[in-house]
Amino acid sequence: MEEQVGKYWDSWISRMADPHKHHQAVTLESLRKPLSVFFRTLGGDGGLNLRASTMSSVNLRRSWVQKLAGSGSRVALAWRDPETLHLPERINLFADAELNRELYYWLAALATAPEFSQHNWIKRSQLQVLYVLDHYPGLNRRYQTLSRALIRQRPDPELLPVAEAVQEQRIQQALIEPGSIDTIGECRYEPAPVLLWLHPSPPQSLPGKQIKVDSVQQQNSDGESKASEQQRKRKAKRKKSETNKGGLLALRYETSLFSIAEMANLDRSEDEDEDLQDAEKNADELEELTVSRDSNAIAKRIRFDLDLPSEAEDDLVIGTDHPLPEWDYRKQQLIKDHCNLLTVRAASSDSGELPPHLQATARRLKRQFQALRPQSQWVKQQEEGSELDLEAYLHFRGQRAAGYQVAEPKLYSSLEKRERDLACLLLADLSLSTDAWVGDHGRVIDIIRDSLYLFSECLQQTGDRFSICGFSSRYRNHVRYHLLKGFDQSYNRKVRQQIEAIKPGYYTRMGAAIRRSTELLSAQPQKQKLLLILTDGKPNDLDHYEGRYGIEDTRMAIIEARKAGLVPFCITIDQQAEDYLPYLFGRGNYTLIRRAAELPAKLPQLYAKLTS
């Protein structure tokens, strides 16, 4: 009963403390795709990711209701860093949902402006507003509407102490006439956040090497895990796990009050409550996450933006020390021999037969693909040929009988064999993320395996020259390139054994894999060369390849493939792919399969459409 009353109290006092609680909120997720297009259309950096911003602590003057509710000390603002555009996860500032939606678009436009870092926050923000209004005059009306609505939401200067009132008056003046205010002065409290401007001092990652969790069991006994609805980058630090048990706990109450950001690493292996429904909510209250490793397994864990390494693999290495370059966007330079690629072959399985659950689908698709097989056909109206073209002859005689002057007719037909001058390489992502489950349909790696089976069965009917490869990576000097079927290898039992043996590997250094595929495909004599890339996520690795660096290197590898005469095309099941694939491949050069279970049947059909 006490717990239920506490929940009612928390809900009521939170509504009282937040005057915007009842407003019509608009979420970033609902506008993710149009915002990405809008931002890039205005000249925004195409390599930036779009993510929900973390809450920042602010020192504001709070009412007694806010103090009682424990609210008003944190706010979500927008900012941009070299890799990410951060926007609030939800906006409910205005009572009108349309205004909240307009605020998202305005913040995206403001993020295209230069940083003007040599100026203070108030001057810098006004210069950014002026830049946007000058370069995109069509946004003037939108800004005027938003600024007037925001001023009505801000504190009344007449109700504030003198120093704070001066600050507020200057901020409102800067909103009405951008560029008219140079400074706002200092007070004990910070001014109310200006949500039409970018973050005054954006959070920065802590110095030092990026933290990776070496070994965390993220799944419970049922194989389920809980993923955060919004992906956020969080500051983190590593702390050694305290494993000592028991002992005397001495408290001095006047010095032992913990803040919410501190970590109390207590040994509770026996009496810990396994109900972690509020764990994600509590973690969202922290600006900094402390990560430690221990041996205690719990029923559920929350998945944040952390990578986990895979187990070692025992694949047979059939080719070593193949150096490949890598593009460093920070230096705008292609670094020669930066990556080392190993060509591997998985240990073959014993079966080598097409799985029973795919046989019916394979028979249906094979009948459809037989129509693409090169066949001989009669070509009419030829100057020479083995047969007389009766239709052309009758037309010629009719024209002559009517008195028309007719040029030398082409009265023959010849039987010609049409060939498909095409080579295709299918590059499959075999990274650690493919070990994830997709509903009740199995793991991603199982869906990829079925796709490779059906793809091979169908292309065997067309007679097209094709190869199937996979890839994963672990740092730049260990990029694994799985050769499942070579161009000169026929599709047979051995190939099916290789496909059956694939399993999740390491990470996704996609640029190196694409460059190696470009080399193999460019060596084929066919005129048309199609590079199909099958993936479930964006490029990443354990080092700095994570984020912007990996995106830029992959994009450069795709540009190099196009210059070599290849046609790169991406098939993905990543639901966030539209945030980065337009920048990597361009519009029309990728497709998103929203239901992963449909991938095996759709992949051959997509190939037929691309090569028809």
**Can you spell out the DSSP letters for 190-222?**
PPPP-TTS--SS---PPSSSPP--S------TT
- Structural domains in the chain, CATH included, are 2-176 (no CATH), 215-269+276-306 (no CATH), 316-370+420-611 (3.40.50.410), 376-417 (no CATH)
Q: Of all helices (H) and strands (E), which one includes residue 139?
A: none
Q: Which two tokens stand for residue 122?
A: 């108030």
Main-chain dihedrals φ then ψ at residue 57, nearest 5 degrees? -75, 140
The per-residue DSSP string of 318-352 comes to EEEEEEEEEEETTTTEEEEEEEEEEEEEPPP-S--
**Contacting residues for 532 by C-beta, under 8 A, at least 6 apart:** 424, 425, 426, 427, 569, 570, 571, 607
Amino acid found at 75:
V
DSSP state of 304: -
Tokens 């066919």 correspond to 526
Q: What is the pLDDT of residues 34-62, one digit of tens each?
A: 898 899 889 888 888 888 888 777 776 66
pLDDT for 379? 72
pLDDT of residue 326: 95
Q: Spell out the residues 6+ positions from residue 415 whose beta carbon is closer than 8 angstroms to its own.
A: 376, 377, 378, 379, 386, 387
Residue 102 pLDDT class (50, 70, 90 cuts): very high
pLDDT recorded at residue 22? 59
Which is it for strands 387-388 and 465-473: parallel, antiparallel or unpaired? unpaired
Mean pLDDT of 133-159: 92
Cα separation of 381 and 234, whole Å?
Answer: 71
Could you give the C-alpha distances from 199 to 122, 183, 194, 486, in angstroms and in order? 11, 16, 9, 53
pLDDT in tens, 243-300: 454 554 444 444 444 444 444 454 444 444 444 455 555 555 555 555 555 544 444 3
User: DSSP assignment, residue 157?
Assistant: G
For 471, the 3-state DSSP assignment is strand
Locus of tokens 């005397």: 248
Q: What is the pLDDT of residue 255?
A: 44
pLDDT at residue 517 tops 90: yes
How high is the pLDDT of residue 320? 74
Instruction: Provide the 8-state DSSP code for 267.
Output: -
One-letter amino acid at 550 equals G
The whole-angstrom separation of Cα 232 and Cα 284 is: 10
